[in-house]
A and B are shown apart, each in its own frame.
Chain A
Amino acid sequence: MDAVAEINAFEAAALAAISTASDDAALEQVRIEYLGARSGRLKDLQSLLGKVPKEEKPAVGKRFNEVKNRVTEALDAAKGKAGATVKPKAGPGIDYTLPGLRPILGKRHPLMQTIAEFKDIMGRFGFTACDGPEIEDEWHNFEALNIPEAHPARDPLDNFYLATAKKGSGAARLMRSQTSTVQIRVMEGRQPPIRVISVGRVYRPDEIDATHHCMFHQMEGLMVGEGVTMAQLKTTLRLFAQAYLGHDVSVRFRPSFFPFTEPSAEMDIGCVICEGAGCRVCSHTGWLEVLGCGMVHPNVFGHVGIDGERYQGFAFGLGVERLAMLRYGVDDLRLFFENDARFLKQFA
């Protein structure tokens, strides 16, 4: 008998055995007899293939594979048919409308979601998040930021000094009034190029009302390098505003003053409430002031030991609460710190 005939005979016998097997156990016996890995009849056939003349090999091999697949499929189908004899019990099904275990998901705080988004956006520009202490010394909070001893911003009544040491004693400490302190700490630690942001709590003894608090969050950004320009500052902040508030947001820059930057600017965005028509939120100007920025002041570079002739830099700072209020339509800043579950759970 030639190889093809042997293969055909195997096929016929195997299919017959499968069709007569009555249950899964019998089918397993059939499988072992015909397809078993150790001593199944298919293994014998396989050894035949080696003896087939070279020119016939492709055709015989093809037929062998066809049969092998067909028998395997027939066996699998028969096994499935055997399982089909198991019948579900009669009776009513389950009530699909009963609730499952209630999902118990919390929420991240809306301010923290905002901060995470800021970090993500600035991260795409290559800005790395840095951190610094919240109880600061006067050097980092004032002196190095070009706010000298006699400056009105250093008035103890306008700051949260700790009672531990006297103001001006060198050991005086205060709750940082701006995240710009981290600028100084970063620049003290390394030379340009620098691209960092710092986000965190700042403290000022402001009267608490719907838009002011004595504790709030700021994001500070700093980029220093050769050839960092005010034009780049504008681009960076415009792209930031568009990334956070949408591509149709309009921005404008107008001159301002901060001791640690010059030229200084404030960035306004077109009022997102009235879209520029003028409303109560924007004091009828059509614009909302959202951040202060500017080119790092030469005195600041001098204080941290960076060559202000060789390097240039820009810095900016913005209030997190203000942007979060605009984004979510929250009209009272105090809600962010009441931790009322009914408020917080809305920020999915």
Chain B
Amino acid sequence: MQFSEAWLKSLVDPKLPTAELGHLLTMAGLEVEALEPAAPAFTRVVVAEILSAEKHPNADRLQVCQVNVGEAAPLTIVCGAPNARAGLKTACALVGAQLPGDFQIKQAKVRSVESFGMLCSAKELGLSAEAAGIMELHADAPVGAALRDWLDLDDHLITLKLTPNRGDCLSVLGIAREVAALTGTALEGVDCSAVAAQVADAYSVVIEHAAGCPRYVGRVIRGIDPRAATPAWMVRRLERSGLRAIHPVVDVTNYVLLELGQPMHGFDLARLQGPIQARLARAGEKLELLNGECIEPAGDTLVIADDSGPLALAGIMGGNGTGVTEATVDVFLEAAHFAPDAIAGRARRHGLSTDSSHRFERGVDPELPRFAMERATRLILDICGGQCGPLVEAGPGAAAKAPVEFRPARARRILGFDLDDGAMLGILARLGMSVEPSGDGFRVQSPSHRFDISREVDLIEEVARIHGYDAIPAVALRGDHAMLPAGEGARSVIELKKLLVARGYQENITYSFTSEELDRDFRSQGEILPLLNPIASQMGVMRGSLLGGLVQSLRHNLNHGQERLRIFEAGRAFISVAAQDQPQRIAALAFGACRPEQWGERARPVDFFDLRADLDALLHPRAAEYRPGVHPALHPGQCAQVLLNGAAIGWIGSLHPRLTQKYGFAKAPVLFEIDLMPLVEQAAPRYQGLARFPAVRRDLAVVVDAALPLGDILTAVGAVKPALVADFACFDVYQGQGVEQGKKSLAFKMLLQHTEKTLTDSEIEAAVAGVLELLTQRFNATLRG
């Protein structure tokens, strides 16, 4: 909502500087989005009349003008504008004038002719961006008057960003009411008194859909002067509200819309056939709108129609061919009330947003149509002449609003400050509410323009708003507190992230949206989940895996000069729309050398086992089980499913060769993606006594089938828990010379320990033999000689 400060001050003038007025509005919830002067600063520019314009003796394109600036003698001024001509009223900057852009006017010789000032274009005065020549002022302009006064340029344009509940402030009067309530300044009335009928024409109106259109006020005005012009003051107020002058009748309806907030429409009476109807659109009906577009309104759309069919999209836009034109002599004016529900969404459906639909969607004072009609009638008669018919009113009107209960004690309880009953009731009274005692509180009737007030809390908000949020004191946070239980061993996600960060990984945030193609490449579970209205096809579906985003990040970074990358992301993957099917995951990707280049270490490309070490670190102290797995994005021979306590929690592996090629990598990155929650939920550790007797290390090398996974042996030993064996780990895997073809040698390190005593040699030998026997029996292992 944009309007002129001067217009507002004509209705209420709290005598505040502009900036303070802006602050007052902002702090009352009517946020000032922009506040700018109507014109930039300039001085000593007056209304002038060109008395004569002669060609310059020494220049083809210049004229030497005699200019009356209201002083005893005319001034000689050289001017280059083609429109400078005798009789023109224009703007003249006198010697000593300061113009925008730090430009000072001096007496000067222009090609040997003395010039005593400058005739100005609107552009030179900062009043418009472009200008074809010097300003052409109205013939009425008083010569010698300061231009700023004549054009009312010491004004400001104020733009408010209104919240959707404050439709009542979508008018200058509405804002003036607020200012009056906030400052206690008197509000000037707008003359909406009844205009007596001068002709008898009462055009008939039929309301078929009273829920959508509870009130329709119409009036005929006959015999307007087609040559009438909109007065300059009205044009100026319209322009400073962002509207162009079009036609006096249209201008008046726009003016009333801005002034009172009531959208109106003017029909050319000669184009109407039969009574006006307010009804829903019928199947197959078409309507050509004012903007030239032809639409077919849906069956839930309210239209204004006559016997020929729809004339206008009710409360949104008029139709082509029935509106007021330059040829119009007789007018039918409409001021109706449409329910927000009947208008909401309809304009947008046809790509429209109009001043009218904007207001009706938020609500308009249901009692306003009659007043707006009287106001518009008077203005049209003043400007265009003509004779008006009687005011025609149809429809039951909006339902009476129930009064709202208000308990000052509850207001104090919610707001948390002491404001006595009297002060609160005073605020409500300033807002035009009538208050009467009722039970332990009050019964409050709000005025019809405050259609947003329907509950006690609405009134509490009004009290706080007018009193000022700044006046609400700062008090300590106090109250009952129930802490939520937290798992005793649970780790925070941040702890897990820090662990990866310490191991060299950079955290990424990739989009939850992805392209369908990428999702097909990486999704291992669930169906593709497309969006109804994506903003772009590469953001068309919800990701089923975090791996795709990391692969894209790798590609971006390789394109920007990185050679080695460690990245991870924690976030949700979307398996289905069900709340429990949006698991939080943590995924990581490693690419490039295993360590940054250094003089003392040989570079080696990162491999599966580097990444596995990082994943093991995340899981520590628990150990995952790795089983051969199948994942659409991972290399079939280098992909493991990760299990924790027997439950599958994710995958680890190298990128599938097909995708490595598709995404243009010289070598396959290694990746993992696992569920986050199993990592977070961790049992608290239980203390175990420290061994007081030294452990003994024994190594054991055995030969087994080359195909036997090490994990099988570790699992078996872990399950059997051989006596005295405190630790059992593989430290070497060997195939080649000295080991039979198809076999491999595995070397294990064993720590043997007794909690009660120091072990004897024979006890140690027996323990080692026990393990060897287990390996021999279960895995056909032989001791390596």
Contacts and interface: CB of A to CB of B under 8 A. Distances in A.
Contacts of B165: 257
A229 interface: yes
Among A156, A157, A230, residue most surrounded by chain B Cβ atoms (within 10 Å)? A230
A292 to B, nearest CB: 10
Nearest to A287: B26
15 contacts: A101-B595, A102-B595, A126-B481, A135-B582, A156-B532, A162-B530, A196-B484, A203-B512, A223-B477, A230-B414, A232-B479, A254-B26, A256-B31, A256-B163, A337-B509
B166 A297 contact: no
A344 B477 CA distance: 37
A326 B498 CA distance: 24
A231 interface: yes
B428 interface: no
A131 B413 CA distance: 31
A338 B512 contact: no
Nearest to A133: B579
Contact of A112 (B33, B458, B507): B507
Given A102-B596, A193-B479, A231 B505 contact: no
A164 B481 contact: no
Interface string B137-179: 0000000000000000000000000011110000000000000
* 3 A-B pairs with least C-beta separation: A229-B416, A255-B29, A231-B416
A186 B5 CA distance: 47
Among A161, A341, A342, residue most surrounded by chain B Cβ atoms (within 10 Å)? A341
Interface stretch (A17-25, A68-76, A78-86, A259-267): A259-267
Contact of A341 (B341, B461, B502, B557): B557
A116 B494 contact: yes
A255 B531 contact: no
Interface in A81-140: 98-99, 101-102, 104-109, 111-112, 116, 125-126, 128, 130-135
How many residues of B sit at the interface, in one of the four size bands? 35 or more
A193 B477 CA distance: 13
B535 A152 contact: no
Interface stretch (A1-9, A31-39, A45-53, A233-241): A233-241
B232 interface: no
Contact of B533 (A101, A205, A256, A263): A205
B340 to A, nearest CB: 8
Given A106-B506, A161-B531, A155 B345 contact: yes
A322 interface: no
B66 interface: no
A229 B533 contact: no
B455 A160 contact: no
A215 B472 contact: no
A263 B465 contact: yes
B179 to A, nearest CB: 15
Given A150-B344, A157-B533, A232-B475, 8 more contacts: A109-B508, A125-B477, A130-B484, A134-B582, A201-B572, A234-B469, A339-B508, A340-B556
Contacts of B163: 256-257
A175 interface: yes
Given A164-B577, A225-B479, A257-B164, A175 B542 contact: yes
Contacts of A203: 512
B532 A133 contact: no
A134 B477 CA distance: 31
A236 B477 contact: yes
B508 A106 contact: no
Contacts, number: 248
A339 B510 contact: yes
B574 A232 contact: no
B82 interface: no
B469 A161 contact: no
A112 B509 contact: yes
A245 to B, nearest CB: 17
A106 B505 contact: yes
A231 B566 contact: no
B457 A297 contact: yes
Contacts of A336: 509
Interface in A145-200: 150, 152, 155-157, 159-165, 167, 173, 175, 192-196
B479 A231 contact: no
A298 interface: yes
Contacts of A345: 506
Interface of A: 98-99, 101-102, 104-109, 111-112, 116, 125-126, 128, 130-135, 150, 152, 155-157, 159-165, 167, 173, 175, 192-196, 201, 203, 205, 208, 214-215, 223, 225-232, 234-236, 238, 252-257, 262-266, 283, 285, 295, 297-298, 312, 336-342, 344-345
A160 B472 CA distance: 39
Contacts of A298: 455, 457
B461 A263 contact: yes
Contacts of A152: 164, 344-345, 348, 361
Contacts of B510: 337, 339
Contact of B480 (A163, A193, A230): A193
B477 A106 contact: no
Interface in B467-501: 469-470, 472-484, 494, 497-498, 500-501
Contacts of A337: 509-511
Contact of A133 (B344, B556, B582): B582
Given A135-B542, A254-B29, A344-B507, A339 B557 contact: yes
B565 interface: yes
A235 B506 contact: no
A150 B464 CA distance: 29
Contacts of A253: 469-470, 472
A223 B477 CA distance: 10
B567 interface: yes
A253 B479 CA distance: 23
B599 interface: yes
Given A109-B509, A238-B474, A255 B483 contact: no
A207 to B, nearest CB: 8
Given A157-B533, A162-B531, A227-B413, A106 B504 contact: yes
Nearest to B22: A285
A120 to B, nearest CB: 9
B512 A104 contact: no
B532 A163 contact: yes
Among A128, A225, A255, residue most surrounded by chain B Cβ atoms (within 10 Å)? A255
B511 A231 contact: no
Given A152-B361, A225-B480, A227-B413, A112 B497 contact: yes
A105 B501 contact: yes
Among A336, A344, A345, residue most surrounded by chain B Cβ atoms (within 10 Å)? A344
B553 A339 contact: yes
Contact of B509 (A238, A255, A339): A339
A194 B483 CA distance: 8
Contacts of B574: 134-135
Nearest to A201: B512
Contact of B535 (A165, A214, A256, A257): A214
Contacts of A339: 508-510, 553, 556-557, 567
Given A108-B497, A135-B542, A231 B473 contact: yes
Contact of A162 (B512, B542, B567): B542
B534 interface: yes
Contact of B479 (A226, A230, A285, A344): A226
A316 to B, nearest CB: 13
Given A164-B529, A192-B480, A214 B539 contact: yes
Contacts of A254: 26-29, 31, 469
Given A104-B595, A134-B582, A298-B457, A256 B556 contact: no
A348 B223 CA distance: 78
